[in-house]
Homo-oligomer: A and B are copies of this chain.
Amino acid sequence: MPELRQNFFTKEWVIIATERAKRPKELARQQPPKALASFVASCPFCPGNEDKTPPEVLRVPAGGTTPWQVRVIPNKFSALAGDAQPTRTIHRSRRSMGGFGVHEVIVETPDHSHTTALLDDAHVTNVLRAYKSRYDELSLDPRIAHITIFKNHGLDAGTSLEHPHSQLIATPVISSQVRGRFQTALQHYDEFGECMFCQVINEEMAEEDRIVLTTEHFVVMEPFASATPFATHIYPRRHMANFGDISGAEMTDLARTLRKVLAKLYHGLGDPDFNYTLRSAPAELHGVKYFHWYVSVIPRLTRVAGFELGSGMFINTVPPESAAEFLRNVKAEAAAGAGGQ
Residues of B within 8 A of A169 (CB): 307, 311
Interface residues of A in 136-165 (CB under 8 A from B): 146, 148-152, 155-159
Segment of A38-46, A89-97, A127-135 engaged in the interface with chain B: A89-97
Whether A3 contacts B97 by the Cβ 8 Å rule is: yes
Whether B304 contacts A304 by the Cβ 8 Å rule is: yes
The CA-CA distance from A172 to B4 in the complex, in Å, is 9
Chain B nearest CB from A134 CB (Å) reads: 15
Q: Which of B93, B158, B171 contacts A8 (CB 8 A)?
A: B93
Whether A99 contacts B307 by the Cβ 8 Å rule is: no
Residues of B within 8 A of A156 (CB): 303
Whether A152 contacts B275 by the Cβ 8 Å rule is: no
When all copies of this chain in the complex are counted, the total is 2
Chain B nearest CB from A156 CB (Å) reads: 7
Whether B95 contacts A5 by the Cβ 8 Å rule is: yes
Cβ-based interface call for A249 (8 A): no
Interface of A is mostly: mixed
Residues of B within 8 A of A2 (CB): 78-81, 84, 99, 101
The CA-CA distance from A97 to B224 in the complex, in Å, is 13
Chain B nearest CB from A107 CB (Å) reads: 16
Interface residues of A in 1-15 (CB under 8 A from B): 1-6, 8, 10-13, 15
Chain B nearest CB from A314 CB (Å) reads: 9
Residues of B within 8 A of A55 (CB): none
**A residues with CB within 8 A of B:** 1-6, 8, 10-13, 15-20, 77-81, 84, 92-99, 101, 146, 148-152, 155-159, 166-167, 169, 171-173, 175-178, 180, 196, 199-200, 203, 224-225, 275-279, 296, 298, 302-307, 309-313, 315
5 extra A-B contacts, CB within 8 A, seeds A5-B96, A19-B78: A2-B84, A12-B175, A148-B306, A151-B306, A158-B305
